[in-house]
Amino acid sequence: MKKIVVFTDLDGTLLDYSTYSLEPALPAIQILRNQNIPLVICSSKTRKEIEYYRTKFGNDHPFVSENGGGIFIPKNYFSFEIRFDNLSVREEQDYHVITLGAKYSDLRRTIESLRREGFQVKGFGDMSIRELAETANISIDEAVMAKERDFDEPFVLEGNSLQTQRLLEAIGSKGFHVTRGRFYHMLGNSDKGKAVSILIDLFKKQSNSILTVAIGDSPNDIPMLKKVDIPIIVQQPDGNHDATIDIPKLMKVDGIGPGGWNKAVIALVS
């Protein structure tokens, strides 16, 4: 029998879009725990933010931060040494860490350069903790964690669709790209799919035969959804599924955010 591995987005998927509550998903989380099914968080959130939620619901599996920028694997999680020919693996506190993303300092310099060119763009790094808390509808403590970034700069911008397109082209000309979740995110040459592929290879080495599942809700989840056997999306707050997510074998679950997530996981393992 194949071992199931579940990859999940957080915001708007496992967590409610507005309240960040995961309570509707707790029954399915408990089922995964009881059946020893790995639940791998793959989020735009920072390491500190993800660790907060891992502690909240007792998750001790690997995770992916900042839209694929970093992979964090708890030490001794796999029964073999983690080595790659083309990737460096470093030890940091309780983790083996694989860095795929750009340096945050390079992203910040690019934001500043774009402003000098006349673009009305503001990154998380430009906001005070209080301003970020209000913008993202999170607590002060959560805003502190959200500002501890390594690989990804979320930003907001003012302007019409033409100005937005010009900004995206300008970012591309500087060697970076943009994805979209709740906010725009500027990244280097990394995405959720590349990180998930690396973890899938490690899980296959550990268990040989696995069945991979990913659950998301927005465009920045597309690279992750493309890499798994069973891609699933939940409904967004307006009750619709994101129309830009159109990939083979896609399952669209009825249920918004964590409610849909709970329904999908229970159906999967029952």
Round the average pLDDT of the chain to a whole number and report it. Answer: 96
Choose one of 154, 187, 220: the last residue of a domain: 187
What pLDDT shows up at residue 58? 95
What pLDDT shows up at residue 208? 84
Mean pLDDT along residues 127-155? 96
Respond yes or no: is residue 217 known to be catalytic.
no
Residue 158: give its domain's CATH number. 3.30.980.20
Same structural domain for residues 71 and 114?
no
Q: Please count the structural domains in the chain.
A: 2
Residue 16 to residue 200: CA distance in whole angstroms: 27
What are the tens digits of pLDDT across the range 42-95? 999 999 999 999 999 999 999 999 999 999 999 999 999 999 988 999 999 999
Beta-bridged to residue 123, according to DSSP, are: 155
Same structural domain for residues 77 and 200?
yes
Q: Is the pLDDT of residue 1 over 90?
A: no
What are the tens digits of pLDDT across the range 158-180? 878 898 999 999 999 999 999 98
Which among 19, 1, 22 has a CA at the least distance from the CA of 215?
Answer: 22
Write out the two tokens for 99.
């860095």
pLDDT higher at 161 or 8? 8
What are the tens digits of pLDDT across the range 232-261? 999 999 999 999 999 999 999 999 999 999
Query: Which contacts of 164-169 are long-range, i.e. CB under 8 A and separated by 24 or more positions?
Result: 166/119, 167/114, 167/119, 167/121
Task: List the domain range (segments joined by +) for residue 144.
Answer: 104-187
Residue 88: give its domain's CATH number. 3.40.50.1000
Which among 56, 68, 183, 187 has a CA at the least distance from the CA of 132?
Answer: 183
State the number of CA atoms in the 13 A half-sphere of 79 facing the CB.
6
Q: Which of 9, 11, 152, 221 is catalytic?
A: 9
